[in-house]
Structure 1
């Protein structure tokens, strides 16, 4: 977490920072993922391990492993006289082994020295207590974990802690602290290490603003280290996006003359389409159709490379300005996905010409552009591009599949090759498959077989990983349609994911200019054999949800799904995500169903963190590939949802007004 060495501080990371820290001292290892959710609020997920915890070993295991969540809120930012003050809750819904609360204040003196002082409860109140001002700390039976222990917060013994940091230069810093954590269970009760002193000392080296390395002397008996890596989603590691620059906007006075009869000349209009396509090809934009009259052009495009929707719109508008006759004053640009039109972005040619070099041109163009609904049917007289359907694409590449948090081996991985293929039969009709072949089998059979009393819809995931060699991960036929300008539909049949196959149907109502959408999905699925070939097991279920989606502004999005899950349980999932204009997404979700906590098992209910990292953010290139990671403390059967590909909201939302506005800064690039 943000802090000194082993103690917290009043500081906060810059807004949006995503960091990963690996630390180790003696028998104690920690891997912590933190995210600065807002300028003042941050959250952390920690995986901890303590060696020599079990003596004698339990099930052959001597190491204790634990998962925990933290929340921190900065009450005040640092001012001339006021310190930065943060209140924090550690391990708020885990087992409670790491539970503690604190209030920490940090003040900078000059430009090199920071001083921190604080008060801690729980773990942070276990050494050098000065009393219990808010009463005794009640014992809590955490049961299966996953429960808030609000009755313990800021109760029991309170103890002071303090520390100082000296910034020697831009890269080196020295720290010292007085710790109020007695490590009662680790040092006193189980003897995993000796705590001889409350004083810790350390030196840290930061080669750049994205990495920090630390070496520490801890508790008078151990040497520790940490490796810290941070990502600021608002700053690309390689600077701005790379790739060919845009065309200058062609003034109408310089526009090509197509003669007086071009409006009725199909050959001239086809030539216009082809010339526009030649310009757009370098950006990976494909024209699906074009309809032209004397003063308007309606262009439907497929963006296959650019990772920013307004940039694709801007590049398309420039291409039209270079090709269209001078009388064409309005550009209607319609982005397509899965063969379905998403929205109609209307740009006046006069605005494009007037604002190219104007101050605040991106904001001005955003205000003048219209985002309108669009029907599935083509306008009258539209010229379709040839050779788009049917279309076949395939890719063969490496993959890494991980297994996390197994008590015996918390980090395992398979490495192999994956073949993906897609056949676009006609607009809206897609046949696709994914086949994986492991080459290195690093994931072993779990020593902890599922003890779930629910149908094993997810808890046997390890068996699918072990026996799928090769694995037909997915083989589906999907039909996407748009029966009305603001209604989208999807029907998918086949092997929908690696554990289930069947039929999935979905409908979405999304108004182009509204920050919300409503959808419904129903599925009939049957559980697949562990080898992930063509066979099925006996279990089948009807599952489905009604979903509400809402953009909260500032890049924050909420989703609520209510319905029936794969194990037959009924409940709801609440998801909160923060999304950045460059495509990075960080979010959390929690599911509560009618399955009692004791029946659900360890963790009590399904919850987790999900992160989406676009490759373009790291490479700076023009690529749409995205890496997605979902971290669950435990994978259980309650609250499990079908993992079908191509859900409508993620397909349709990119070119709706709310998302376009958030990313509009790259329209002119």
Structure 2
């Protein structure tokens, strides 16, 4: 039905669906279409592009000419409708959500179809096959109903609401999917059909604009154009797809039991697990920063070996530390298996070190793997090392044993010694929570750490995984033919962490400028002697955002607002809240808003908002042709000098004091005095802001509960003791002052920043320092220099100082690569122990702000001088508080792991670094979003 006068779709539908004629029809709300006259031109162009692509296909691997002509004829017979996808087509929902309710213009049309009774499959020759709809049947059911011999890898489903979905439907990739709804279109070319994926995407997108299948032009049901024979219709239950379950091995990595597979979890996954197979208990932490990279660390408790002398570690058993990684080299395809390379126990003592290549191939509910391993993974040694053709040194692998002076180095034994095959199969039973595993182990357990030999009765291990919940796995197995194994793994996606902001104030409804003053319970600013009185607006802004309003002033047709103390990570919602208030209160002649964000007085970034465009975007749904960007990142606006005459000015007051009190926790892991030494304390952070750019910060800590009475070991060191006095700093006093620092920051022009600071800079050092940062606005690169003259603090962490002093500092290059959220930081300089070298830090940040990273530092001291570990390294995860709390807030929670505390490569733990202070200048700040929003946007 064509529209003659502008009207809201929700109102129009409510009127039409309330008529007696509509009540008599079986209205299919899911298939209701808004057809925009302006959008038809674009879709006509898209249809022509699709026809051109079909016509231009050439070469030996393309579909036969008859099929190409048939598909082209089908597309040519269909008109461009101008359909625009709606979030929902229910009139009551649209009326309650005006930002998703379009205003129909003259010439637009609305189609109200009846409920179809079939799903239509588009064949490669352009013919259509309609199959009666079966509730919950998936795409492959309809595909096989039309062609029992069909063998597609992927299916594109154009649902009747206009949404296009790509579904994996082959044995090697089958995954859960939304079933096609009545009236869906399905395009699923065979694996060797020759239709390129780009054409499949265009074809599905075009048919999504056609409305539900199985209807005539008036929206009534019609007989199928080519119904599937009843005998050809299979049972829908045969094609219910399930994801391939990826579970942890005994070692924490994705795998079977003792052996790894080439499988990877999705990026953002993390797991913490424990597995027990006498005499080993393994505590595993694994992270998946990228789809093709898995890494983590492990502590292995060897119950048959003491940690050290009883006077040092009592009855504590030996704890071995190790780092693992696995890299996927090839993705699985219909023909080719996935292939991965990995290393176990890299840079540790080497007691369990091993290298491997492994391939995995899925066939439905079975997942097969086959690999070859060196070292611990190939200790059976039943195959000569093929690398020995290059050098005899590859024939034998050096024995691994505990050697503190060498642990942490990159071994010369990699890929040496005989090798062994390993592999197995994983089966997902019909009872979904239960997964069975069978593997052939490449280790014969005759060369175990500390010269142990284990009796084995079988080379095969068998086990089962029970998924208690989506985040908890329990594993039980029989290994070596005579040893029981029990494991528990907690896992989940860090990139999905998010908490609804139920404690934030409710947002203000968006009002059109002309009705702003009358649409809100909060009055618009009243004219003052020199212009508007913005104090009420400023209070509303602070209430809605939690930010501090520093200035509000006019500049022609622009209204500029300057915020300081921007205490939130997710900014998109805050910008919308700001603009909602400004749009309500600003005079009609204000055409744009400029929002400037300052951090501790430094202007770091800005946002320019086109008022009319923003209001339109937030008060009605628009066809793609009319959608415009309303919010632009921009350099921060320059605030005029205070002496200049400005109309409509608001000057905000500054909060002078800030106090935060809460619990704190710290621990040390894997030491000889105990596996976990911990302290629970009360912490108070205070800040006195002398000016916006100058503040005095203090941190005070009172220990409440700990087991530090067991902490008696001070690690040996061949360097100045800058970190290995850890025990003394943790145990000397229950009340400490980790921080008391005076800081001043400033800007030099637009792209350069500086800071000077002094005081008790961290728990172990006091002194003075300065930093300079060059960070062009909107650039992915930044360069910083810091120089510090510091002196070691007394063990009580009070005002006392020790004799040791040093000049330390670094030149640091920061690079946000723009690739998969990866950031690379490289710093070179002099460290606290007066050693010189470089630190490389690589991290990946997800849309919800969670960061997974690792770092390594190598300096000019030898491995023997450095001591155990040979060089400094660590792994960390940071989570923004905005993802954890019910109220918007800034700051992050950091979880860091370093295998050892040594003196080499030790950096000053500086507070208030300029890169962090200016991080709101990151042009991707509006890209960060809570998981619900991030999952619908591009990664």
Q: Which runs of 5+ in 2 are unaligned?
A: 1-252, 389-394, 519-524
* Deviation string, structure 1 residues 371-418 (Cα, Å, up to 9, x no partner): 2145576675384544424x2121221111111121341212111111
Instruction: Output the CA distance in 2 between the equivalents of 1:221 and 1:336.
Output: 65
Instruction: Output the CA distance in 2 between the equivalents of 1:405 and 1:564.
Output: 29
Residue 371 of structure 1 corresponds to which residue in structure 2?
A: 634
Residue 574 of structure 1 corresponds to which residue in structure 2?
A: 840
CA contact (8 A) 1:277 1:286 kept: no
Instruction: Output the CA distance in 2 between the equivalents of 1:494 and 1:195.
Output: 62
Q: Does 1:315 align with 2:567?
A: no
Residue 313 of structure 1, CA deviation: 2.2
Residue 16 of structure 2 corresponds to which residue in structure 1?
A: none
Residue 662 of structure 1, CA deviation: 5.2
Q: Aligned in 2, Cα 1:460/1:55: closer, same or farther, shift over 3 Å?
A: closer
CA contact (8 A) 1:263 1:293 kept: no
Residue 465 of structure 1, CA deviation: 0.6
RMSD: 3.0
Residue 153 of structure 2 corresponds to which residue in structure 1?
A: none
* Deviation string, structure 1 residues 430-474 (Cα, Å, up to 9, x no partner): 111111111112234544323212111111112101113101111
Query: Greater shift after overlay, 599-608 or 366-375?
Result: 366-375
Residue 54 of structure 1, CA deviation: 4.8
- 3-state DSSP class of the match of 1:657? coil
Residue 115 of structure 1, CA deviation: 2.1
Instruction: Output the CA distance in 1 between the equivalents of 2:908 and 2:287.
Output: 27
* Deviation string, structure 1 residues 471-530 (Cα, Å, up to 9, x no partner): 111111111222322122212211111101111211111111211111111111110000
- 3-state DSSP class of the match of 2:494? coil
Q: Does 1:51 align with 2:316?
A: no
CA contact (8 A) 2:835 2:861 kept: yes
CA contact (8 A) 2:751 2:777 kept: yes
- 3-state DSSP class of the match of 2:918? helix
Residue 727 of structure 2 corresponds to which residue in structure 1?
A: 462
Residue 138 of structure 1, CA deviation: 4.0
CA contact (8 A) 1:310 1:663 kept: yes
CA contact (8 A) 2:308 2:672 kept: no
Match of 1:199 among 443, 460, 478: 460
Larger Rg: 2
Q: Aligned in 2, Cα 1:659/1:597: closer, same or farther, shift over 3 Å?
A: farther
CA contact (8 A) 1:269 1:292 kept: no
Q: Aligned in 2, Cα 1:325/1:84: closer, same or farther, shift over 3 Å?
A: same
Residue 606 of structure 1, CA deviation: 0.8
Residue 204 of structure 1, CA deviation: 1.6
Instruction: Output the CA distance in 2 between the equivalents of 1:240 and 1:394.
Output: 23
Q: Does 1:10 align with 2:274?
A: no
Q: Does 1:388 align with 2:666?
A: no
Instruction: Output the CA distance in 2 between the equivalents of 1:360 and 1:73.
Output: 43
CA contact (8 A) 2:358 2:372 kept: yes
Instruction: Output the CA distance in 1 between the equivalents of 2:358 and 2:612.
Output: 57
Query: Greater shift after overlay, 549-558 or 181-190?
Result: 181-190
CA contact (8 A) 1:249 1:352 kept: no
Residue 737 of structure 2 corresponds to which residue in structure 1?
A: 472
Query: Greater shift after overlay, 459-468 or 200-209?
Result: 200-209
Match of 2:421 among 160, 164, 188: 160
* Deviation string, structure 1 residues 208-247 (Cα, Å, up to 9, x no partner): 3322222222223332222222231332365798845543
Match of 1:102 among 323, 341, 356: 356
Residue 795 of structure 2 corresponds to which residue in structure 1?
A: 530
Structure-to-structure mapping, 1:437-452, within 5 angstroms: 437-444=702-709, 446-452=711-717
Q: Does 1:33 align with 2:298?
A: no
Instruction: Output the CA distance in 2 between the equivalents of 1:477 and 1:159.
Output: 61
Query: Greater shift after overlay, 352-361 or 115-124?
Result: 352-361
Instruction: Output the CA distance in 2 between the equivalents of 1:188 and 1:420.
Output: 48
Q: Aligned in 2, Cα 1:115/1:61: closer, same or farther, shift over 3 Å?
A: same
Instruction: Output the CA distance in 1 between the equivalents of 2:433 and 2:499.
Output: 20
Residue 108 of structure 1, CA deviation: 2.1
* Deviation string, structure 1 residues 331-374 (Cα, Å, up to 9, x no partner): 1111122232211221221331233355699x977686142145
Q: Does 1:328 align with 2:590?
A: yes
Structure-to-structure mapping, 1:420-435, within 5 angstroms: 420-435=685-700
* Deviation string, structure 1 residues 580-627 (Cα, Å, up to 9, x no partner): 121211111111111111101111111111211223324454233421
Match of 2:568 among 299, 306, 316: 306
Q: Which runs of 5+ in 1 are unaligned?
A: none
CA contact (8 A) 1:256 1:324 kept: no
Query: Greater shift after overlay, 563-572 or 283-292?
Result: 283-292
CA contact (8 A) 2:610 2:630 kept: no
Q: Aligned in 2, Cα 1:12/1:306: closer, same or farther, shift over 3 Å?
A: same
Instruction: Output the CA distance in 2 between the equivalents of 1:506 and 1:534.
Output: 24
Q: Does 1:254 align with 2:518?
A: no
Instruction: Output the CA distance in 1 between the equivalents of 2:597 and 2:309.
Output: 60
Residue 182 of structure 1, CA deviation: 2.4
Residue 122 of structure 1 corresponds to which residue in structure 2?
A: 375
Residue 23 of structure 1 corresponds to which residue in structure 2?
A: 275
Residue 398 of structure 2 corresponds to which residue in structure 1?
A: 139
TM-score for both structures, normalised by structure 2? 0.66
* Deviation string, structure 1 residues 21-45 (Cα, Å, up to 9, x no partner): 2222222122222222321122222
CA contact (8 A) 2:859 2:905 kept: yes
Residue 218 of structure 1 corresponds to which residue in structure 2?
A: 479
Q: Does 1:647 align with 2:913?
A: yes
Q: Does 1:599 align with 2:865?
A: yes
Residue 291 of structure 1, CA deviation: 1.4
CA contact (8 A) 2:550 2:653 kept: no
CA contact (8 A) 2:570 2:928 kept: no
- 3-state DSSP class of the match of 1:52? strand
Equivalent pairs, count: 659
Residue 160 of structure 1, CA deviation: 1.5
Residue 132 of structure 1, CA deviation: 2.2
- 3-state DSSP class of the match of 2:919? helix
